[in-house]
Chains A and B, each alone.
Chain A
Amino acid sequence: MASSVTARASGGKPPQALLLLRRCDAAFHSALQQRFHVLDFFASGEPLPAFLAAAAAAPEPPRAAVVMGGGVVRVDAAFLDAVPSLRCVVGTGAGVDHIDLDECARRGVAVANSGRVFSADAADHAVGALIAVLRRLSAAERFVRRGLWPLQGDYNLGSKLGGKRVGIIGLGNIGSLIAKRLEAFGCVINYNSRRPKESVSYNYFPNVHDLASESDVLVEACALNKETRHIVNKDVLAALGKDGIVVNIGRGANIDEAELVKALKEGTIAGAALDVFENEPKVPAELLSMDNVILSPHIAVFTSESRSDLRDHTIANLEAFFSGKPLLTPVFPNKVSHIAGKSN
């Protein structure tokens, strides 16, 4: 049986049951257990079907679930069939590609995501990684640490960021923060999204191929769904061209990884900054020896600040749901942007 600490009841009512399918730190656990009757999948040690069946069979079955992404659990028809009491699923990642939004909508199950909790950190990482690849910072650092500066003289010249045309795929929360930051560096901002955004003055392109043709840097910052799988493909890379840089802080599958590696090997593009890969933690071996790429192990959103913001935000969504109020950051099917309602 899933274990949990009995939460303190507020206002005399027993705490609501909550399915927890996420590895949490102590602070997050404690915050949840203070407010809810937590049914903790990872603590139970049980296989998922048994865990869900037990939860569904409880006298007060859970109406809400907190579910992490990353391939651990998929919230699909089978999952929802197993726990029919569920009326709300709260994702804790920047992406909700592990949740079948159509299936949830069909059943009237509300879905919330992490809203803007991760947006600034993701944007900061994208900008930092772009500077690092253009200015060869990571490779130059290795050069210094190997003691080569006194032996070989100054390191190779990089390329200036100012004046570069940056094409952002997906101008949602993260994409728009990247745009704002890069404008201050003197970049020209181009973008592609499903529809042009009236409130911005950046240059809109109706497809990613045209965006790439008119850009020096391509930043992949959109969600992963059926339409955006391999949205950066061989043609797009060729259109970006031999001086072009690709930055990926979306999902590995947004880019055709095999074609990307080939393009880097053959000089079809100039470099890349990659935080995500199609088969994490596996990274194509050819990339490991390249000096014109910045590689990172899916760290774009993971700061201690976003961790604590996520905790507060998740609890705020759960409390809204349980008190019959609208979710703070609901997600609906066929919407690529990360917030519903008015565009920012």
Chain B
Amino acid sequence: MESLGVLMLDPMDDYLKQELGRRFQLLRLWDAPPDRHDDFLRANAESIRAVVTGGGSGADAALIDALPGLEIIASYSVGVDRVDLPRCRERGIRVTNTPGVLTDDVADLAVGLAIAALRRIPQADRYLRAGQWKDNGDYPLTTRFSGKRVGIIGLGRIGLAIAKRGEGFDCPVSYYQRRDLAHANYTYYPTVVELARNSDVLVVACSLNEQSRRIVDREVIEALGPRGVLVNIGRGGHVDEPELVSALVDGRLGGAGLDVYADEPDVPEALMALDNVVLAPHMGSGSLETRTAMADLVLGNLEAHVLKKPLLTPVV
């Protein structure tokens, strides 16, 4: 295989790093201290034909412009909201992501967060470990998950997988997205507010773009209401985070199960102080099996590019 110069933006995953090093000419941006990144890019610009990035790092216009030889950006994620796609289109740079392989894990975590939030699984665990079962008696009653109305924003691969799991719990499923899919089993709502008003659990499962930024705003949060639960396995940018925090503190929203935040890895202090939220550190795709499959997809896309074969999972 011809030696493709690949720039990896951050360590992400050991297996991916090893394989990139084995199969290509790997350059690691983190070998240079943060204030020397520009120098590093300048020094290596000519040889870099590919960039491997993650959902959080993305690839902005500044990076793309610094690499005149760039042909392909392979993201180790399904979300590419931080990759400047218009700039890539202008330059003829291909972009790939990792859809499909992580669908099950992300859907599993979404449902896991919903059950954890309603049934207070982590909170009850903390209660027990703190000796409260002995000292204070039984944990208070929680709220049933089965049969609750599940509303999904975005009925793509992940949204459909969540819907299927919801059916296993006899949850009536409804959804919002721009297009009514006329699905036999799931009810369509033409606005997010109406979806929220008719849901007990609202799940964000769409991609982040201009239309969906802050799609969960104060109006949606209040429509979901004091007994409603928000689950976010999309992007922090989908939700007006200060409004979310304020609604949870005030009791205008019943609870939340969150895997993503506006400014990862920083989670607002006010959220950490709450007992009606479950907080996960962006681990929707975080199983060994899935991360390996994601890495293989990144590698497969790069190899297809080198061999001038059709890319496996192109976005651009």
Contacts and interface: CB of A to CB of B under 8 A. Distances in A.
Co-complex (A, B)? yes
Interface of A: 120-121, 123-125, 127-129, 131-132, 134-138, 140-145, 147, 149-150, 153-155, 157-162, 180-186, 280-283, 288, 294-299, 302-307
Given A131-B109, A160-B104, A304-B142, 14 more contacts: A123-B146, A125-B115, A127-B115, A128-B112, A128-B116, A131-B111, A138-B121, A150-B265, A158-B287, A161-B105, A186-B104, A280-B133, A303-B119, A303-B141
Contacts of B141: 302-304, 307
Interface residues of B, number: 54
A136 B280 CA distance: 10
13 contacts: A121-B146, A124-B146, A132-B121, A141-B280, A144-B281, A145-B272, A150-B265, A155-B281, A160-B287, A184-B167, A186-B104, A295-B129, A296-B125
B211 to A, nearest CB: 29
Contacts of A143: 281
B34 to A, nearest CB: 15
Nearest to A300: B119
A4 B104 CA distance: 55
Nearest to A183: B168
Nearest to A25: B141
A137 B116 contact: yes
A129 B139 CA distance: 16
Contacts of B108: 131, 135, 160-162, 185
Contacts of A135: 105, 108-109, 112, 283, 286-287
Interface stretch (B179-187, B242-250, B288-296): B288-296
B138 A297 contact: yes
A123 B144 CA distance: 11
Interface of B: 104-105, 108-109, 111-113, 115-116, 119-122, 124-129, 132-134, 138-139, 141-147, 164-165, 167-170, 264-267, 272, 278-283, 286-291
A47 B79 CA distance: 65
B128 A154 contact: no
Nearest to B142: A303
A162 B146 CA distance: 20
Given A135-B109, A144-B279, A157-B288, A296 B267 contact: no
B115 A131 contact: yes
A158 B128 CA distance: 23
A155 B144 CA distance: 29
A78 B294 CA distance: 64
A12 to B, nearest CB: 38
Contacts of A149: 264-265, 267, 281
Contacts of B121: 125, 128-129, 132, 137-138, 294, 296
Contacts of B272: 144-145, 147
A160 B290 contact: yes
Chief secondary structure at chain B's binding surface: helix
B287 A144 contact: no
Given A184-B165, A296-B121, A120 B144 contact: yes
B167 A132 contact: no
Contacts of B288: 157-160
Nearest to A280: B133
Given A294-B125, A295-B125, A160 B105 contact: yes
A181 B168 contact: yes
A16 to B, nearest CB: 29
A307 B138 CA distance: 14
Contact of A124 (B134, B169, B290): B169
Contacts of B145: 124, 128
A138 B109 contact: no
B142 A157 contact: no
A297 B128 contact: yes
B124 A141 contact: no
A129 B119 CA distance: 10
Contacts of B280: 137, 140-141, 144
B144 A121 contact: yes
A282 B134 contact: yes
Given A131-B115, A141-B280, A184-B165, A306 B104 contact: no
Which are the 10 A-B pairs with shortest beta-carbon distances?
Answer: A184-B168, A128-B115, A131-B112, A149-B265, A160-B287, A297-B133, A120-B146, A281-B133, A162-B104, A305-B144
A163 to B, nearest CB: 8
A163 B1 CA distance: 34
Contacts of B127: 297
A154 B283 contact: yes
B282 A154 contact: yes
B169 A155 contact: no
B119 A125 contact: yes
Contacts of A159: 287-289
Nearest to B165: A184
Nearest to A179: B168
B297 to A, nearest CB: 15
A184 B170 CA distance: 11
A150 B134 CA distance: 34
A283 B128 CA distance: 9
A157 B116 contact: no
Contacts of A142: 122, 126
Contacts of B113: 137
Contacts of B119: 124-125, 128, 299, 303
